[in-house]
């Protein structure tokens, strides 16, 4: 079920809110779990079996690890933990990477791999975080299996993240407070996310699809850059829109999830970018891969190895294709250069230049990311740098600049903190006029989002296929 579809926005979500308010508090978790199961089974009921098996396995594994930890049987605990992680990883590999791995060693997979269950990459990472947190003693396991099932399958975050860590959510399942303020801010965030996804990302996506069908070999430089810009902003609005909706839904039901995006396009370095882009994924890799491997408090060569592992896996997480691997390594190289080679020089460069440079470098990265294969990525990059193709600018480039220029500009302004700063300044004034105009603004946002939802077939969430 898509969070931005008619069924979810106009039926499932509002009825969930009303039911949640109406039933006694002790039934609320059961309600959320029931709703989550309906949410999963609506797309493909077979997913219920797999998510159910994963839940049961991780629930008992977490209890076992906790038992061994309290008995101080470290070796056995580590063995169980390793098994648990291996089983989760095996699930991920089977559904997402098996065909890719086999084809790379020259084997064709002749049997059909079933489609990956909804949110596989997100919920297996949540499950692994649970096993690790319990093993370290950071958090106790949820004793009630239904509570644990809610942690894995809560419909707000299941399909598209953010990747919620166990230690951030476990306690909230047992004890959370729902205030009017959190509900109201959650609703605002949900509507902002819906607008980002349907109005901006949807429009940018239409343009990008037109670029997709173009012959790369004859593209002009300006056209190539425009296509890359449309994609970069579309991806940001799509993914951060979904994250806003998920976090908003969480807040409405009393959960507090950390933000997943923090204006990534104003980053002044690649390090800064990764503190602002898909924050929950970066945090997961940091906490469960990078730091356990020793992080940066090791020899220089070991540090480089640690980073390499993290960025190889980050690339692969996005999909089973060499383009994602190369995209991950591209970021690795940039980060290493930034940290180890140009550190001193960069300090002397003005922030504005560093920000523009970082933006351009990430846009170049996305061209590798959106290409179907490394050879098309190579051709595309050559066109961006004016090699081959049809010169600096062609009529196609001019047309898309004329037709999509304002949208691009609006999208870029919207990606800076400017609008949210204005918004929070206005909201601080506590007058009825401000409240009425805020409600009118959000009503308009809902109406325009609905217009885009109804008037065209909305492309589905990009990250759901990763």
Interface with other proteins includes 452 (CB under 8 A)?
A: yes
Nearest distance from residue 453's CB to other proteins, in Å?
7
Nearest distance from residue 212's CB to other proteins, in Å?
12
Name the residue among 293, 17, 311 with its Cα closest to residue 155.
17
Interface with other proteins includes 191 (CB under 8 A)?
A: yes
Q: Which is nearer to other proteins, 18 or 56 (CB)?
A: 18
Query: DSSP code of 318?
Result: T
Q: Which two tokens stand for residue 450?
A: 């609905």
Cis amide bond preceding 402, omega within 30: no
The one segment of 96-104, 297-305, 371-379, 435-443 that binds other proteins by CB under 8 A: 435-443
Interface with other proteins includes 199 (CB under 8 A)?
A: yes
Name the residue among 276, 273, 237, 419 with its Cα closest to residue 356.
273
Q: Which is nearer to other proteins, 5 or 52 (CB)?
A: 5
Interface with other proteins includes 456 (CB under 8 A)?
A: yes
Q: Which is nearer to other proteins, 7 or 342 (CB)?
A: 7
Name the residue among 222, 240, 188, 228 with its Cα closest to residue 204.
228
What's the chain's length in residues? 466
Binding mask 236-265 for other proteins (x = CB under 8 A): ----------------x-------------
Interface with other proteins includes 181 (CB under 8 A)?
A: yes
Interface with other proteins includes 423 (CB under 8 A)?
A: no
Cβ atoms 126, 166 nearer than 8 A? yes
Cβ atoms 379, 216 nearer than 8 A? yes
Nearest distance from residue 5's CB to other proteins, in Å?
5
| Residue environment code for 334-346, b if the CB has 16+ CB neighbours within 10 A, otherwise e | bbbebbeeeeeeb
Which of residues 161, 193, 205, 404 is near other proteins by CB under 8 A? 404
3-state SS class at 258: coil
In which region does residue 119 sit, left (phi positive, over 0), alpha (psi from -120 to 50) or beta (all else)? Answer: left
The one segment of 35-43, 133-141, 146-154, 319-327 that binds other proteins by CB under 8 A: 35-43
Q: Which is nearer to other proteins, 438 or 459 (CB)?
A: 438
Query: What is the rounded distance in angstroms from the CA atom of residue 210 to the CA atom of residue 397?
Result: 12
Residues 6+ apart with CB under 8 A from 436: none
Interface with other proteins includes 102 (CB under 8 A)?
A: no
Interface with other proteins includes 114 (CB under 8 A)?
A: no
Q: Give the position of tokens 């070796």.
A: 75
Q: Which is nearer to other proteins, 416 or 437 (CB)?
A: 437
Name the residue among 161, 127, 130 with its Cα closest to residue 52.
127
Interface with other proteins includes 375 (CB under 8 A)?
A: no
Interface with other proteins includes 203 (CB under 8 A)?
A: yes
State which of positions 4-33 bind other proteins (CB under 8 A).
5-7, 9-11, 14, 17-18, 21
Size of the site for other proteins (CB under 8 A): 58
Q: Which two tokens stand for residue 438?
A: 């805020």
3-state SS class at 345: helix
331 is catalytic: no
Choose, from 278, 303, 318, 331, the residue flagged as catalytic. Answer: 318
State which of positions 37-56 bind other proteins (CB under 8 A).
41-46
Interface with other proteins includes 293 (CB under 8 A)?
A: no
- For the chain, state the CA radius of gyration: 23
Interface with other proteins includes 229 (CB under 8 A)?
A: no
Query: What is the rounded distance in angstroms from the CA atom of residue 261 to the CA atom of residue 236?
Result: 9
Query: DSSP code of 196?
Result: I
Q: Which is nearer to other proteins, 43 or 295 (CB)?
A: 43
DSSP string, 150-162: HHHH-HHHHTT--
Annotated catalytic residues are 318
Binding residues for other proteins, rule: CB under 8 A, are 1-2, 5-7, 9-11, 14, 17-18, 21, 41-46, 180-181, 183-184, 187-188, 191, 199, 203, 213, 252, 394-396, 398-399, 401-407, 410, 435-436, 438-439, 442-443, 446-448, 450-456
């Amino acid at each position: 079920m898509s969070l931005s579809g008619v069924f979810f926005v106009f039926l499932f979500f509002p009825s969930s809110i009303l039911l949640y308010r109406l039933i006694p508090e002790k039934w609320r978790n059961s309600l959320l779990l029931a709703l989550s199961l309906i949410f999963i089974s609506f797309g493909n009921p077979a997913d219920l079996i797999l998510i159910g098996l994963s839940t049961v396995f991780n629930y008992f594994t977490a209890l076992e690890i906790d038992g061994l930890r309290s008995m101080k049987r470290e070796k056995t605990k580590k063995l169980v933990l390793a098994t648990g992680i291996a089983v989760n990883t095996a699930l991920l590999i089977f559904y997402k990477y098996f065909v890719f791995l086999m084809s790379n060693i020259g084997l064709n997979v002749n049997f059909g791999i079933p489609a990956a269950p909804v949110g596989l990459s997100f919920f297996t990472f949540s499950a692994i975080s649970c096993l690790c947190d319990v093993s370290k003693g950071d958090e106790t396991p949820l004793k009630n299996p239904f509570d644990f099932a809610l942690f894995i399958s809560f419909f707000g975050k299941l399909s598209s993240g953010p990747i919620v860590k166990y230690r951030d959510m476990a306690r909230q399942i047992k004890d959370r407070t729902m205030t009017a303020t959190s509900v109201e801010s959650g609703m605002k965030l949900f509507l902002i996310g819906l607008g980002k996804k349907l109005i901006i990302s949807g429009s940018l996506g239409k343009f990008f699809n037109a670029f997709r069908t173009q012959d790369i070999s004859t593209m002009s430089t300006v056209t190539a850059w425009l296509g890359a810009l449309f994609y970069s902003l579309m991806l940001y609005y799509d993914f951060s829109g979904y994250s806003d909706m998920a976090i908003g839904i969480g807040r409405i039901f009393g959960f507090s999830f950390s933000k997943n995006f923090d204006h990534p396009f104003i980053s002044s370095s690649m390090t800064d970018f990764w503190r602002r882009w898909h924050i929950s994924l970066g945090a997961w890799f940091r906490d469960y891969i990078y730091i356990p491997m020793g992080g940066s408090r090791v020899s220089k060569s070991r540090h480089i190895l640690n980073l390499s592992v993290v960025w190889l896996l980050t690339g692969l997480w996005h999909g089973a294709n060499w383009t994602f691997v190369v995209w991950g390594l591209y970021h690795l190289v940039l980060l290493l250069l930034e940290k180890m080679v140009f550190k001193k020089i960069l300090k002397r460069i003005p922030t504005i230049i560093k920000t523009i440079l970082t933006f351009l470098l990430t846009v170049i990265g996305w061209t590798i990311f959106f290409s179907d294969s490394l050879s098309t990525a190579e051709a595309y990059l050559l066109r961006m740098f004016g090699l081959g193709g049809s010169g600096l600018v062609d009529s196609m480039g001019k047309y898309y600049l004329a037709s999509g220029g304002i949208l691009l500009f609006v999208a870029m302004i919207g990606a800076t903190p400017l609008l949210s700063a204005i918004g929070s300044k206005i909201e601080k004034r506590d007058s009825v006029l401000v409240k009425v105009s805020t409600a009118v603004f959000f009503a308009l946002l809902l109406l325009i989002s609905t217009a885009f939802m109804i008037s065209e077939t909305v492309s589905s969430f990009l990250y759901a296929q990763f």
